[in-house]
Amino acid sequence: MRLANVAGRLVSQEGADLVDVATASDGRFGPDPHDVLEHWSAFRAWAALRPPAGAAPPTPAGAGPPVPRPVQVFGIGLNYADHAGESGMALPSRPMVFPKFASCVTGPELLVLPSQTVDWEVELVVVIGRTARHVAATDAWSYVAGLTIGQDISDREVQFAGGASSQFGLGKSLPGFGPTGPWLVTPDELSDPDDLEIGCSLNGSQVQHSRTRHLIFTVPALIAHLSQHLPLRPGDLIFTGTPAGVGFGRDPAVYLRPGDELVSTIEGLGSLVTRVAPDLRSGS
């Protein structure tokens, strides 16, 4: 199943069509995208009788975040060895967890830069589909509603102010710093949800490229770890970490500029386009 949030209403892809879930279900599910996450198994049972999704379509006009109001948004730092290397940091012995405050979550929307030290991080994002507590890694995929694309946008000056790891939550949670979407794709649509090509381009040049099989802590390992400490709830998001190729690891460092276009792509999940707002002061 491939779902999107279009103008605040949940739509499902059926063949080449986008179907309004509330209308198609006679009001049983939706229209709020969160409604189905609260009734995920019943929704899946209903959806199983509907026509299947076809080939991956382009981003629907008016798409917003697939999960607009998550309660908890987790970020995982240094979860690809090549990114830990470019960051000059040791590999973590357990998942490095930080919050992305939920107010930063957006869809494929315009990003307004708050400073000149804003960086990109393409990431696979997990959407939780049912309450998970003390879950074993072998069962963890059954707690996942689906996957989407995310950008863990980061203001490096804010993030690293006052010490190497002290401000991750703040520096990665400024307004618009959590672009997600455009699709929520259920794992059964993917040939191998543990090994997806992931990449991102800046103004048409590829800057990041890897595969999710290189995650140090896999999706099941992250769900097992987090759920040992606290309950994960329907609609919670896990940004699983970024591969090498971010801007601050370059020499000289590269940061987002007004008018840039960032395209984040994950195999089977489509592409998430993030346009950076032009600098209105300079008129560029």
Residues forming the site for Zn ion (CB under 5 A) = 121, 152, 242
Q: What's the gap between Cα 86 and its chain centre?
A: 22
**Shortest Å, Cβ 156 to Zn ion:** 12
What SS3 class is residue 180?
Answer: strand
Residue nearest Zn ion, Cβ-based: 152
Q: Are 29 and 38 in contact (CB under 8 A)?
A: no
Q: Are 122 and 242 in contact (CB under 8 A)?
A: yes
Q: What's the gap between Cα 111 and its chain centre?
A: 15
How are beta strands 63-64 and 2-6 bridged, if at all? antiparallel
Amino acid code (one letter) for 221: A
**Shortest Å, Cβ 154 to Zn ion:** 7
Is 225 exposed, middle or buried, given 0-12, 13-18 or 19+ CB atoms closer than 10 A?
middle
Q: Which residues contact 120 (CB under 8 A, 6 or more apart)?
A: 151, 153, 154, 200, 202, 207, 208, 246, 247, 256, 262, 264
Cα separation, 184 vs 175, whole angstroms: 22
Cα separation, 95 vs 76, whole angstroms: 7
By C-beta, is 121 or 189 nearer to Zn ion? 121
By C-beta, is 220 or 241 nearer to Zn ion? 241
Nearest to 67 by CA among 212, 184, 154: 184
**Shortest Å, Cβ 126 to Zn ion:** 13
**Shortest Å, Cβ 250 to Zn ion:** 16
By C-beta, is 180 or 242 nearer to Zn ion? 242
**Shortest Å, Cβ 244 to Zn ion:** 12
By C-beta, is 152 or 155 nearer to Zn ion? 152
By C-beta, is 152 or 260 nearer to Zn ion? 152
By C-beta, is 25 or 106 nearer to Zn ion? 106
**Shortest Å, Cβ 76 to Zn ion:** 7
Q: Are 38 and 3 in contact (CB under 8 A)?
A: no
By C-beta, is 121 or 155 nearer to Zn ion? 121
**Shortest Å, Cβ 215 to Zn ion:** 12
